[in-house]
Amino acid sequence: MTQRLACLAAVLIVSPGFAADLRESIAQDYDAHLADLFTYLHANPELSMQEFETSDRMASELEAAGYTITRNIGKTGLAGTLRNGDGPVLMIRADMDGLPVLEKTDLDYKSTAKQVNLEGIEMPVMHACGHDMHMTTLVGVARRMAALRDRWQGTLLLVGQPAEEAEGGAKAMVADGLYDRVGRPDFALALHVSAGDPLGKITFSDGLMYSSADTVRINVRGVATHGASPHLGKDPILIGSQIVVALQSIVTREVGPLEPAVITVGAFRGGTAPNVIADHARLDITVRANTEETRYQLLDSIERVAINTARAAGVPEDLLPEVIIYSDGAPTTNNDAALARRVRAAMQAGMGANSLMEYKQTDMGAEDFPDLVNVDPPIPSVYFQVGGTPVEDLESGNWAGHHSGLFRIDPEGSVTAGVEAMTLAALEVLGRPPN
Ligand SMILES: [Zn+2]
Ligand SMILES: [Zn+2]
């Protein structure tokens, strides 16, 4: 029943005239304001948990749009609140961090920024994942929703989240009392620009969006000896290599054949000289799964394989590998099916059915957004993607993936589609039919 009423509301709110006006207003916002904001954010990226100036700029943008600002939630995080009578509380989140990547594009607003990271090392910084697009879109939605106040009722809670790429910013905001300080949302929305999707096309599923991601470190311990006397020691590089190979059989022989899983040993460090057998080696691993069940199966199996591979090599019990599973891993990102259907209907009504594409998971990327919504009880949420690359560039191969120094998206096309889609989704959640 609620479902039917909600769908009815979407149809009434999004009349063809309203949809055309909305698109025009967003285009005007882009020229008047959002283009400059995007350029500023792109040229001035900051690393995870160091988004100081970014956070200042976002606070002043949201404040200027009429929102009440709460700062320093989870270090650099912030929230802007707009209360507009009784009704649901809707949270919309944008992540704010750049990456330690040297920008290699030829954009005239390219980043030349450098920043000292949390380990004290100076790094080049680039918005190589498009979080500048997410923030610009959030400000666009803030302005549009403030202007459309007579069409909705409730509370809009816009969140600028630090550290999506590293350091667990979503978790940090919740741990720092986000919901005690600004209220608990009834629903939540977020988006990501997608360089691999056609410009402006919206795509999301009714369920799984992204995989889980965990980081595992294996400290392989051996017994040092001369490289010419291997029989007197235990070689951690050989044992580490056997572990790397054995880990692959977890995916091929333990996880069901129809269940996606990834175990990637991204770093293998050990040894000092050709004629020395070292006493330790280190493997750094990323682990991806599409269900929490497979996630924990993989993590348990990695530990078993590492320890018993060393045992088989005769490593003494007190020198077996140390397997560290970092607790800042991201769970799977899952859309709420009922909310996804409502949001899709609203976007189709406002943008036209061919603005949406079927969602297809093509890799095992992850997000920390679920850490904001997997609270008790969970907050129903929808996460969607907005295409960022013109079709002709996709077809000619003239584009680069996320986290590349060559990453670039079309800001105008992606931001305006993002603002439109998110505004329609927000009106679906908070909207009321016009009088
Ligand atoms: Zn990223
Ligand atoms: Zn990202």
What are the residue ranges spanned by the domains of the chain? 2-211+332-430, 212-325
Task: Name the percent of the chain lying above pLDDT 70.
Answer: 96
- Distance between Cα 6 and ligand 2 center (Å): 31
Average pLDDT for residues 213-224, to the nearest whole number?
A: 96
The CATH code of the domain at 212-325 is 3.30.70.360
- Distance between Cα 405 and ligand 2 center (Å): 14
pLDDT of residue 14: 79
Q: Measured between alpha carbons, how far is 9 from 419 in angstroms, rounded to an integer? A: 20
- In this predicted model, what pLDDT tens digit does every residue of 131-169 receive, in sequence order? 999 999 999 999 999 999 999 999 999 999 999 998 899
Residue 434 has pLDDT above 80, yes or no: no
- Distance between Cα 34 and ligand 2 center (Å): 20
Question: How far from 109 is each of 37, 112, 195, 217, 409, CA to CA, in Å?
Answer: 12, 9, 18, 38, 13
- In this predicted model, what pLDDT tens digit does every residue of 261-279 receive, in sequence order? 999 999 999 999 999 999 9
Q: Integer distance in angstroms from the first to the last C-alpha of the chain?
A: 22
- Distance between Cα 362 and ligand 1 center (Å): 15
pLDDT of residue 4: 45
- In this predicted model, what pLDDT tens digit does every residue of 27-54 receive, in sequence order? 999 999 999 999 999 999 999 999 999 9
**Which tops the pLDDT comparison, 329 or 366?**
366
- Distance between Cα 23 and ligand 2 center (Å): 26
pLDDT of residue 327: 67
pLDDT of residue 190: 98
Mean pLDDT for the chain overall: 95
pLDDT of residue 22: 95
- Distance between Cα 366 and ligand 1 center (Å): 9
pLDDT of residue 396: 97
Average pLDDT for residues 402-427, to the nearest whole number?
A: 98
- Distance between Cα 122 and ligand 2 center (Å): 22
pLDDT of residue 166: 85
- Distance between Cα 129 and ligand 2 center (Å): 5
- Distance between Cα 19 and ligand 2 center (Å): 29
The three state secondary structure string of the chain is CHHHHHHHHHHHHCCHHHHHHHHHHHHHHHHHHHHHHHHHHHHCCCCCCCCHHHHHHHHHHHHHCCCEEEEEECCCEEEEEEEECCCCEEEEEEECCCECCCCCCCCCCCCCCEEECCCCCEEECECCCCHHHHHHHHHHHHHHHHHCHHHECEEEEEEEECCCCCCCHHHHHHHCCHHHHHCCCCEEEEEEEEEEEECCCEEECCCEEECEEEEEEEEEECECEECCCHHHCECHHHHHHHHHHHHHHHHHHCCCCCCCEEEEEEEEEECCCCCEECCEEEEEEEEEECCHHHHHHHHHHHHHHHHHHHHHCCCCHHHCCEEEECCCCECCEECCHHHHHHHHHHHHHHHCHHHEEECCCCCCCCCCCHHHHCCCCCCCEEEEEEEEECHHHHHHCCCCCCCCCCCCCCHHHHHHHHHHHHHHHHHHHHECCCC
Task: Decide which of 3.30.70.60, 3.20.20.70, 3.10.50.40, 3.40.630.10 is the CATH code for 2-211+332-430.
Answer: 3.40.630.10
The confidence band for 9, taking pLDDT boundaries of 50, 70 and 90, is: low
Tokens of 317: 């019990």
- Distance between Cα 131 and ligand 2 center (Å): 6
Task: Name the percent of the chain lying above pLDDT 90.
Answer: 92
Its pTM stands at 0.91
pLDDT of residue 149: 95
Residue 380 has pLDDT above 60, yes or no: yes
- Distance between Cα 330 and ligand 1 center (Å): 13
- Distance between Cα 170 and ligand 2 center (Å): 13
pLDDT of residue 1: 42
Ligand approaching nearest to the C-alpha of 402: 1
Ligand approaching nearest to the C-alpha of 193: 2
Residue 249 has pLDDT above 60, yes or no: yes
- Distance between Cα 194 and ligand 2 center (Å): 9
- Distance between Cα 129 and ligand 1 center (Å): 5
Residue 16 has pLDDT above 90, yes or no: no
Residue 333 has pLDDT above 70, yes or no: yes
pLDDT of residue 86: 95
pLDDT of residue 3: 46
